[in-house]
Amino acid sequence: MNTTFAAIGCVLLSVTAQFLIKAGMSSVAVKAALAKPAALQLAGTVMLNPAIIGGFALYTLGAVVWLWVLARWDVSKAYPLEGLGFALALLVGFLIGEQVTLLRALGVLLICAGVFVISAS
């Protein structure tokens, strides 16, 4: 497995996990549980939500792949690639109708420029 592709795969897994967890936390069942004072019921509703379970499963898979990446690269090279997650999350968020401001987009472009500079070293 190519280390660069593995590192980018970790970013993809992380972003996908975030959107799954967001979908789960935005579900009718979780919102209804959040409106009630019963913390135990809320915990059960959240932990049994399929989207949230899927999100945590992807995080787990990403962590395993990340261990493989860290065994081959310096952390100072690997970790900045996580910044690409900002760009991907912004793009996916835009595609699903989230508000993406010009200032937010410019900030993500700056992050991507930094990732490029670091990856070139």
Q: Give 109's pLDDT tier (boundaries 50, 70, 90).
A: very high
Contact 58, 11 (CB under 8 A): no
Longest pairwise C-alpha distance within the chain: 52
**Residue 57, helix vs strand vs coil:** helix
The residue ranges of DSSP E strands in 4-86, in sequence order, are none
pLDDT in tens, 43-87: 888 899 999 999 999 999 999 999 999 999 999 888 888 888 999
